[in-house]
Every structure is written in C-alpha cells, then in structure tokens.
C-alpha cells in the first residue's frame, strides 16, 4: 500500500479501526482480570453517583477518573503482551517495563479513589447520618 493511500480518509479504514478497538475492549472485559475489576468498580461508582445526583462538574471528575483507569489498564495489558512477545526469558528490563506500566495504573487508580472519596464521601455520609 502506497504512503498516499494510508494518508487519505477512508470510511472503511475508519470502520475497521473502531471494529478493532471494540474487539480489544471485548477481549479485555472477558479475559483480563484487572480490567473486569475496574469495570465492576466503574459500574458501582456510576450507580452510586446517579443515585446521589451529582452536579455536572462532579460527573466530569468521576467520568475522567473511570475512563482514565480503564484506558491505562488497557495500555498496561498491551505492554505486557508486547514484552511477553519480545522475550521468553526473565529479563530485568522486561520486568521493569511491566512493573512500570502496572505502577501507572496503580497511581491513577489511587487518584481516582481519592476523587471518589472527595466527591462521594460527604454525600454518602450526609445520606447515612441524616436518615
């Protein structure tokens, strides 16, 4: 395929790109244990957020937190696959790459939990103690 062909817009290529992306999400949601955990937590947080009636700006922080964790988990899984594909040996750099990718997910997930506590915590406490 010529370079010019790759640069031109094609609805078929666009549809293929979305198809492959959705296949990745489907794969992660059925196979990846950590992604399933993040998905379950996301559903719970969305349910609680809807129940508590968040303001628009609160929803923005919740949505950014949820999708950020999930996106990083997908990247982490991709990095793990690439590292596993590149070597069958236990190599210190391979371990570091995997550990660093996992650490990125952990750091973002901690931030997401903190945001959840800041936004949802006071509302849940008020709901519990005012009833």
> Which two structure tokens, joined as six digits, stand for 5?
């062909």
Active site residue 73: yes
Q: CA end-to-end span of the chain, whole Å? A: 67
Identified catalytic residue from 4, 58, 73, 80:
73
Give the residue among 80, 119, 118, 81 at the shortest CA–CA distance from 101. 80
- DSSP state at residue 1: -
Residues assigned a catalytic role: 73
């Amino acid at each position: 395929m010529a370079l010019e062909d790759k640069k031109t817009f094609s609805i078929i290529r666009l549809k293929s790109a979305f198809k492959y992306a959705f296949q990745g999400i489907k794969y992660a949601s059925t196979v990846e244990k950590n992604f399933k955990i993040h998905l379950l937590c996301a559903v719970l947080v969305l349910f609680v957020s809807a129940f508590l009636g968040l303001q628009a700006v609160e929803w923005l922080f919740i949505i950014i937190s949820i999708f950020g964790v999930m996106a990083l988990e997908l990247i982490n899984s991709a990095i793990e696959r690439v590292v596993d594909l590149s070597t069958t040996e236990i190599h210190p750099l391979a371990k570091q790459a995997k550990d660093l990718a996992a650490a990125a997910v952990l750091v973002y997930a901690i931030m997401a939990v903190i945001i959840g506590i800041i936004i949802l915590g006071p509302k849940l406490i008020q709901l519990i103690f005012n009833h």
